[in-house]
């Protein structure tokens, strides 16, 4: 009968066997569950945090309701009435809107406003985008030039209109004096029906481009440099980098700038009132100018309120069209 020989043992046999590793999917699931459990707070804590946030925004929300939403509702109600200066009024329904649709002066002022908007918005946005691109590439005295370009925006619109009215003067204006020194004829910028709107749009663009410039400059600075550097390494020119890299990334900011400048253009009044008083022959008679005359010259407050509501709808539709064409939905 043979004897069992003892088996030789190795040092590895004395070590404990490690348990099998958990599957990667199970480990990831446990990590996600642990993170969710750590971030979950009791319902009372979440409710208390929401109440604290609401308390912080309550003053601004109250101001908005009182000074924005309230007057809008009041104007909507006035547009349905025949409100007189004595405080008496009669409910007339949609009669003001019917009258508005049959008013040739309303359509004329709306056409003037549309032409002015088509001139002012591209002029202002291109000027703001150009100066923002220059400031983005400028390292020397960037703060000084940024303040210099923004300075016209903080000046009074009446003061800017008076200055540009003097610049456009036929006899003693700066622009016509320069043209005369060059041997060119004088041009009546504000007295010519074809030139009055471009002239006012240019003055308004000089006055208002500084705000959009700062917004676009902030948008340019938020674009990662790695993206443009990669395009440069791939051989893209400066124009190609701007057209195919910078401009698409700048689209949300550009959409915001276009909307605010379009709203500003539709509400133009001060510059036309100071520089031309609506002339010549109502060539600069805007929709807000028509609203002003209806309400504060003829005291037809119901009709003026109807004009204001129509202006609100026009701006809203124009903004939605812009959103459709160049806007981008955020995921």
**What whole-number distance in Å separates Cα of residue 217 and Cα of residue 145?**
12
Angle subtended by helix axes 70-78 and 301-326, to nearest 10 = 120
The pTM score is 0.79
User: Do residues 300 and 124 lie in contact, with contact meaning Cβ atoms separated by under 8 Å?
Assistant: no
Any alpha helices (H) in the chain, and if so which ranges? 24-39, 43-64, 70-78, 95-101, 104-137, 142-154, 157-167, 174-181, 196-221, 225-233, 238-241, 247-249, 251-266, 270-275, 287-292, 301-326
Exposure of 296 in the CB half-sphere (CA atoms within 13 A)? 5
243 alpha-carbon distance from chain centroid: 21
* pLDDT on residue 42: 66
Low-confidence stretches of the chain (pLDDT beneath 70): 1-42, 326-331
Tokens 């291109």 correspond to 126
The secondary structure of residue 93, as a DSSP letter, is T
Instruction: State whether residue 2 is helix, strand or coil.
Output: coil
Q: ω into residue 280 within 30 of 0, thus cis? A: yes
Q: Can you give the pLDDT at residue 209?
A: 94
| Domains (range + CATH), the chain | 104-326 (1.10.3720.10)
DSSP assignment letter at 293: I
Task: Please tell me the predicted confidence (pLDDT) of residue 292.
Answer: 95
Burial 219-241 (b: 16+ CB within 10 A, else e): bbeeeeeeebeebeeeebeeeeb
């Amino acid at each position: 009968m043979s004897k069992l020989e003892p088996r030789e043992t190795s040092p590895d046999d004395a070590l404990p066997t490690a348990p099998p590793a958990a599957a990667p999917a199970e480990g990831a699931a446990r990590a996600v569950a642990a993170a969710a459990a750590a971030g979950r707070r009791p319902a009372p804590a979440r409710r208390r945090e929401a109440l604290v946030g609401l308390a912080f925004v309550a003053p601004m929300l109250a101001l908005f309701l009182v000074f924005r939403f309230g007057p809008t509702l009041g104007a909507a109600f006035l547009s349905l009435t025949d409100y007189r200066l004595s405080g008496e009024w009669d409910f007339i329904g949609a009669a003001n809107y019917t009258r508005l649709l049959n008013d040739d002066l309303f359509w004329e002022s709306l056409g003037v406003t549309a032409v002015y908007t088509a001139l002012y918005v591209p002029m202002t946005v291109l000027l703001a985008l150009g100066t923002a691109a220059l400031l983005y590439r400028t390292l020397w005295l960037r703060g000084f030039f940024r303040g210099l370009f923004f300075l016209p925006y903080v000046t009074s619109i009446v003061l800017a209109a008076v200055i540009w009215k003097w610049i456009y003067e036929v006899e003693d204006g700066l622009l016509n004096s320069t043209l005369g020194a060059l041997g060119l004829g004088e041009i009546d910028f504000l007295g010519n029906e074809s030139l009055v709107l471009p002239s006012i749009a240019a003055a308004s663009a000089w006055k208002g481009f500084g705000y959009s410039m700062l917004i676009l400059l902030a948008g340019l600075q938020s674009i990662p440099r790695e993206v443009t550097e990669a395009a440069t390494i791939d051989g893209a020119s400066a124009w190609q980098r701007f057209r195919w890299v910078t401009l698409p990334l700048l689209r949300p900011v550009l959409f915001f700038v276009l909307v605010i400048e379009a709203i500003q253009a539709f509400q133009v009044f001060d510059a036309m009132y100071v520089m031309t008083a609506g002339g010549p022959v109502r060539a600069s008679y805007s929709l807000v100018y028509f609203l002003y005359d209806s309400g504060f010259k003829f005291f037809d407050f119901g009709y003026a309120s109807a004009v204001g509501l129509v202006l609100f709808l026009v701006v809203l539709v124009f903004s939605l069209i812009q959103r459709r064409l160049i806007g981008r939905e955020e995921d």
